[in-house]
Amino acid sequence: MPVVTQLPDDKKLHVLFRVEPGCMGPAGIDHIQDYCKYAQQRVQSLHAEFVKWEIVARMNKKLPEMQFRALNKNLTHDQAEKYLAVFGQNLEEFEEHLHDMLALLVDEFWEKDVKRGL
């Protein structure tokens, strides 16, 4: 695996992930903003040397679930794949890991404050 030094924010891969309120269950719409803040704090250290995360609510279904940017330009899926390959990452595994992590964080979010679900 390549040695990675901390990149400046403008050169990092900016990963915008939009979370569906429905993934949190029937009360998700009431808690999605708090969950996004919670998830943002939990994922920001993941690959922080070359990734800048932004976790937001997906209120507009016309917008994609995940978007990639670098150097203030939107990247295609292929471009994001090439970017990640420089850091020894596979895009499919990268996305799968993020999905798994966010699903675990939903459970953790509810467990932190059981009153949220009431």
pLDDT tens for each residue of 80-99: 999 999 999 999 999 999 99
pTM: 0.87
Q: Vertex 58, ends 52 and 64: CA angle to 5°?
A: 70
The answer to whether residue 72 scores a pLDDT higher than 80 is yes
Residues 6+ apart with CB under 8 A from 65: 17, 18, 20, 58
Q: What is the pLDDT of residue 25?
A: 86
* Beta pairing partners, 69: 14, 74
Residue 74: its H or E element: strand 73-75
Q: What is the pLDDT of residue 112?
A: 82
